C-alpha cells in the first residue's frame, strides 16, 4: 500500500502549533481522527503513548513517526504535520523534530503499519526531500512531493511476467556486495541502515543488495546464488541473524548504527576485501580454518552482556519491590523479621524476592545461550540454580545436611560459561551420530547430558567458588574508614568513565551482585549506593553546566542539557553520552571526578541502597537519604564546575 493512498488532505497540517511532545501527540491524534477512521480517539491516543513508553519514535534527522496498531482504528490511515521551529521529541541524535507522520493501523494480523514505516524511513533518508517537505506551503504540494518520491523509490509493480524477466536478466549481473541490516525492534533503524548502504553503493557505482530483518519478517532475502557470487557481505545488526549461510565468505560484522552513520566506510572496506572469512560453528568442514578470531576479552564481554541484559529486568523489578517492603515495614515490631512484619510489606518482600531469585539462573542461562544457542539455555539455567543454592556432593553423601554454601554471582557466572561450552562439546560429540537422530538432539540429548554434566561440574566446584564468594563478602563486610571511601571513589568513577560501556557495566554488575548475598550487611548495600550515585552524576553535571555555563555550549546542547536533569535523577547515565562523544577530553575527566567524589561521600556517610535502580525515586528507601542527596549534589556541582573550567567559551574557540 502506497503512502499517499493512506493520507487524507484533512489529516495534514503544515503549521503545527504545539511545542511539547505530549501536545504534539494530541494535535496529531486529532488529525488522524479527522480522517473518520477512529472509533475511539482516546483509546488510540493511549496506544500511541504506550508505544512511546517503549522507546521514542523520533528516528533522528528531524523526523518522528509515532505509530500504533489498535482495535480503535477502523481503517489504516496516516496523518502528517510540520513544525517549522522544531519540537523536542526525544530523538536519539538529540535533534529537534520538524516532520511528523502518525500511523494508525487496525488490530489484526496484517502488517500495514510496518510496511508504511519501512517506506517512510527509506524515503526520508533524503535530506533534500525532507527540506522540501518542511518548506511546503500547500497540502497538495506536500502530497505531490511524497507521491513523486515514492514513485522514484518504489515504482508501481509490473506484471509477474515482466518481474520474472527482470530476475532472469539480473542473473548475469549479480550484486558484488551483499548486506544484512537488523535492529532489536526491527523498524526504523533497520531500514535507515539499508537505505544508507544502498545510497553509498549507488554513488560509487557499486552493485549491492541489502536484506532487511524487520518486525514484519525478512525482506529482499539474499539467495544462495547471490551469496556465492558476492565478494564481501556486510552484517549491520544488533540482533542475531542467520549466519551459517555465509560460511567461507568474507563478512564484516558490525552494529546497525554503523550501517547508518558509517555506511561509506563499510562499503570501502567491503570493496577492498578488508574483512575476515566467516566460519560458521554449524559447519563440520575440518579442513577450513576461520580467519574471524574475536579476542577472548570481546567474546567474554559479549556473552556476559547477553546474560546481564536478560537478568536486569528481574533485578530491577524485584529489587525495587524489596526496597519498598523495607520502606513500608515497621522495624520496631520484630527487627529480625524486618521487611515481613506487616502484611503489605510481606507482600512486596515475597513478590520481590521471588523475582530477584531468578537473577542468577537467568544470568547463567543466557550466557550459556549466547555461547551455544538455544540448547545452552536449560543447561546454563540449571547451573545457575545450583550455584545459587550451593549444593555439593557432600549434601548427598550424608556428610552433613548443612554443607551448602552459595557460590553466588561468581558461581552463576562460571556456570553460564561452563554450561555453554559443555553444550558446544556435546554438539561436537553428537555430530558423529547418524543424520536420522538429528531431530532428537535438541529435545533429548543436549538437555539430558548437558544438565547432568553441568550438575556434576557445579557440585564439584561449588565448595571452592563458595569459599571464594564467602571470603569476598567477608572482606567487603570488614571494610571501614579509608578503604571504604577508596572503594566508593573507584566504583563511582568507573560509572562515569565510559557511561554504559564495559567499565560502567562492570561496576554496576558488581553492585547488583552484592544485593544477592544471603544476609547481606550494610557494606553490601553501601556498594550499590555508591554505584548508583556514580551513574547519576554525569548527566546532572552536564545539565548544571549547560545551565550555568551557557557560553560553553551550542543552543542544541543547552536544550539537550535540560533533559539530562531528568535522566540523571532517574539514574540513566547514557544521557551524558552525546556530550562525552562530542568532547571526550573535557567532559569525561570532569564527570569522572564528580562521580568519584559522590561515590566516596556516599560511602563516608554510610548510605546504603537495597534497590538496584530507581535514582531519586527510591531515595526514601536509602539509608541516610539526606546525606545521600547531599553527596549527589556535591558530586554534580563539582563535575559541572570542572566542566565549566575545562571547556572554553565557544566564541574563544578558533
Give pLDDT tens digits for 91-136. Answer: 877 789 999 999 988 876 466 667 777 788 888 888 888 899 999 9
Q: Which one has a higher pLDDT value, 590 or 195? A: 590
Widest pairwise Cα distance in the chain: 86
**Mean pLDDT across 144-163:** 67
Look at residues 259, 301, 248, 298 and name the one whose alpha carbon lies nearest to residue 504. Answer: 301
The position carrying cell 549444593 is 391
SS3 640: helix
The answer for 537, left when phi > 0, alpha when psi is -120 to 50, beta otherwise, is alpha
**pLDDT value at residue 555:** 81
pLDDT at 291 over 50: no
**Mean pLDDT across 417-444:** 87
**pLDDT value at residue 285:** 35
The position carrying cell 568442514 is 285
Burial profile 560-574: b = 16 or more Cβ within 10 angstroms, e = fewer: bbebbbebbbbbbbe
Which tens digit of pLDDT belongs to each residue from 208-238?
Answer: 999 987 655 688 888 888 898 888 999 987 6
Q: Measure CA 92 to chain center.
A: 12
Burial profile 435-450: b = 16 or more Cβ within 10 angstroms, e = fewer: eeeeeebeeebbbebb
CB contact at 8 A, 573 and 528: no
Beta bridge partners of 210: 179
SS3 516: coil
Residues 6+ apart with CB under 8 A from 511: 491, 527, 528, 530, 531, 532, 612
CA atoms of 642 and 622, how far apart (whole Å): 28
281: confidence class by pLDDT, cuts 50, 70, 90: low
For the chain, the average pLDDT equals 82
The three grid cell numbers given for residue 566, joined into one nine-digit string = 531528568
CA atoms of 367 and 305, how far apart (whole Å): 8
CA atoms of 622 and 520, how far apart (whole Å): 15
Give Cα separations from 587 to 228, 530, 576, 643 (angstroms): 47, 21, 9, 6
CB contact at 8 A, 618 and 352: no
pLDDT at 172 over 70: no
Task: Please report how the helices 408-430 and 375-389 are oriented relative to each other, as an axis angle in degrees rounded to 10.
Answer: 150
The three grid cell numbers given for residue 189, joined into one nine-digit string = 533503524
Look at residues 228, 233, 240 and name the one whose alpha carbon lies nearest to residue 267. Answer: 233
The three grid cell numbers given for residue 552, joined into one nine-digit string = 560553553
**pLDDT value at residue 112:** 63
Burial profile 308-324: b = 16 or more Cβ within 10 angstroms, e = fewer: bebbbebbbbbbbbbbb
pTM strictly above 0.75? no
Rounded (10°) CA dihedral 206, 163, 144, 26: -90
522: confidence class by pLDDT, cuts 50, 70, 90: low
**pLDDT value at residue 379:** 94
pLDDT > 90 in the chain, percent: 29
CB contact at 8 A, 485 and 288: no
The three grid cell numbers given for residue 625, joined into one nine-digit string = 537519604
Beta bridge partners of 61: none
Look at residues 445, 413, 199 and name the one whose alpha carbon lies nearest to residue 307. Answer: 413
**Mean pLDDT across 357-371:** 90
Overall size of the chain counted in residues: 654
CA atoms of 541 and 643, how far apart (whole Å): 8
Neighbours of 239 (CB within 10 A): 12
- Residue 649: its H or E element: none
Which tens digit of pLDDT belongs to each residue from 292-345?
Answer: 445 676 677 778 777 877 887 888 788 888 888 888 888 788 877 877 889 998
Q: Which one has a higher pLDDT value, 537 or 125? A: 537
**Mean pLDDT across 162-167:** 42
DSSP 8-state class, residue 283: -
Give Cα separations from 192 to 52, 61, 131, 222, 436 (angstroms): 19, 11, 17, 18, 43
Q: Report, in angstroms and rounded to the nearest whole number, the Rg of the chain calculated over CA atoms.
A: 28
Q: Catalytic residues, which ones?
A: 67, 183
CA atoms within 13 A on the CB side of 511: 34
Neighbours of 208 (CB within 10 A): 21
Which tens digit of pLDDT belongs to each residue from 585-627?
Answer: 889 999 999 999 999 999 999 999 887 888 888 888 888 999 9
Q: Which one has a higher pLDDT value, 300 or 29? A: 29
**pLDDT value at residue 121:** 81
Lowest mean pLDDT among 396-400, 497-501, 574-578: 396-400
CA atoms of 91 and 83, how far apart (whole Å): 15
Amino acid at each position: 500500500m502506497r503512502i499517499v493512498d493512506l493520507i487524507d488532505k484533512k489529516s495534514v497540517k503544515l503549521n503545527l502549533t504545539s511545542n511539547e511532545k505530549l501536545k504534539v501527540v494530541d494535535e496529531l491524534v486529532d488529525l488522524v481522527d479527522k480522517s473518520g477512521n477512529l472509533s475511539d480517539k482516546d483509546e488510540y491516543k493511549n496506544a500511541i503513548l504506550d508505544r512511546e513508553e517503549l522507546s521514542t519514535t523520533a528516528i533522528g534527522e528531524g523526523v518522528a513517526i509515532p505509530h500504533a496498531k489498535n482495535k480503535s482504528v477502523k481503517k489504516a490511515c496516516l496523518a502528517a504535520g510540520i513544525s517549522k521551529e522544531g519540537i523536542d521529541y526525544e530523538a536519539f541524535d538529540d535533534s529537534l523534530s520538524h516532520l511528523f507522520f502518525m500511523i494508525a493501523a487496525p488490530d489484526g494480523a496484517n502488517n500495514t503499519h510496518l510496511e508504511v514505516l519501512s517506506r517512510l524511513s527509506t524515503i526520508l533518508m533524503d535530506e533534500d526531500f525532507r527540506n522540501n517537505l518542511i518548506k511546503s506551503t500547500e497540502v497538495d504540494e506536500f502530497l505531490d512531493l511524497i507521491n513523486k518520491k515514492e514513485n522514484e523509490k518504489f515504482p508501481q509493480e509490473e506484471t509477474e511476467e515482466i518481474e520474472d524477466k527482470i530476475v532472469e536478466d539480473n542473473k548475469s549481473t549479480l550484486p558484488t556486495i551483499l548486506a544484512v541490516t537488523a535492529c532489536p525492534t526491527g523498524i526504523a533503524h533497520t531500514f535507515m541502515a539499508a537505505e544508507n548502504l544502498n545510497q553509498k553503493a549507488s554513488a560509487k557505482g557499486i552493485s549491492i543488495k541489502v536484506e532487511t530483518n524487520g518486525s514484519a519478517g525478512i525482506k529482499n532475502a539474499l539467495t544462495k546464488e547471490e551469496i556465492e557470487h558476492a565478494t564481501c557481505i556486510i552484517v549491520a545488526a544488533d540482533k542475531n541473524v542467520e549466519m551459517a549461510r555465509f560460511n567461507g565468505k568474507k563478512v564484516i560484522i558490525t552494529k546497525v548504527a554503523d550501517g547508518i552513520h558509517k555506511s561509506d566506510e563499510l562499503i570501502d572496506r567491503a570493496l577492498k576485501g578488508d574483512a575476515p572469512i566467516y566460519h560458521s560453528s554449524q559447519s563440520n568442514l575440518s579442513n577450513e580454518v576461520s580467519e574471524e578470531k574475536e579476542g577472548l576479552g570481546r567474546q567474554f564481554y559479549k556473552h556476559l552482556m547477553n546474560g546481564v541484559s536478560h537478568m536486569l529486568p528481574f533485578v530491577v523489578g524485584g529489587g525495587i519491590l524489596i526496597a519498598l517492603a523495607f520502606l513500608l515495614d515497621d522495624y520496631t515490631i520484630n527487627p529480625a523479621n524486618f521487611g515481613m512484619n506487616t502484611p503489605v510489606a510481606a507482600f512486596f518482600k515475597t513478590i520481590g524476592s521471588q523475582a530477584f531469585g531468578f537473577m542468577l539462573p537467568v544470568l547463567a542461562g543466557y550466557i550459556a545461550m549466547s555461547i551455544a544457542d538455544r540448547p545452552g539455555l536449560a543447561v546454563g539455567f540449571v547451573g545457575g540454580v545450583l550455584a545459587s543454592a550451593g549444593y555439593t556432593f557432600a549434601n548427598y553423601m550424608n556428610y552433613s545436611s548443612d554443607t551448602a554454601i552459595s557460590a553466588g554471582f561468581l558461581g552463576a557466572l562460571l556456570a553460564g560459561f561452563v554450561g555453554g561450552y559443555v553444550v558446544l562439546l556435546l554438539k561436537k560429540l553428537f555430530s558423529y551420530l547418524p543424520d536420522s537422530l538429528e531431530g532428537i538432539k535438541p529435545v533429548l540429548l543436549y538437555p539430558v547430558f548437558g544438565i547432568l554434566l553441568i550438575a556434576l561440574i557445579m557440585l564439584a566446584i561449588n565448595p571452592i567458588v563458595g569459599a571464594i564468594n564467602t571470603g569476598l563478602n567477608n572482606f567487603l563486610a570488614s571494610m571501614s574508614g579509608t578503604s571504604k571511601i577508596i572503594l566508593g571513589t573507584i566504583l563511582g568513577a568507573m560509572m562515569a568513565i565510559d557511561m554504559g560501556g564495559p567499565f560502567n557495566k562492570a561496576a554496576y554488575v558488581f553492585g547488583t551482585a552484592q544485593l544477592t548475598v544471603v544476609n547481606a550487611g550494610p557494606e553490601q548495600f553501601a556498594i550499590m549506593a555508591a554505584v548508583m550515585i556514580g551513574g547519576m552524576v554525569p548527566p546532572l553535571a552536564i545539565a548544571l553546566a549547560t545551565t550555568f555555563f551557557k557560553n560553553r555550549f551550542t543552543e542544541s546542547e543547552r536544550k539537550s542539557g535540560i533533559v539530562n536533569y531528568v535522566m540523571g535523577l532517574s539514574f540513566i547515565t547514557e544521557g551524558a553520552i552525546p556530550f562525552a562523544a562530542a568532547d571526550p577530553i573535557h567532559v569525561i575527566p570532569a564527570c569522572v571526578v564528580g562521580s568519584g567524589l559522590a561515590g566516596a561521600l556516599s560511602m563516608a556517610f554510610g548510605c546504603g541502597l537495597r534497590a538496584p535502580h530507581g535514582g531519586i525515586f527510591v531515595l526514601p528507601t536509602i539509608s541516610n537519604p539526606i546525606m545521600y542527596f547531599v553527596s549527589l549534589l556535591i558530586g554534580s556541582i563539582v563535575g559541572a564546575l570542572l566542566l565549566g573550567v575545562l571547556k572554553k567559551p565557544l566564541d574563544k574557540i578558533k
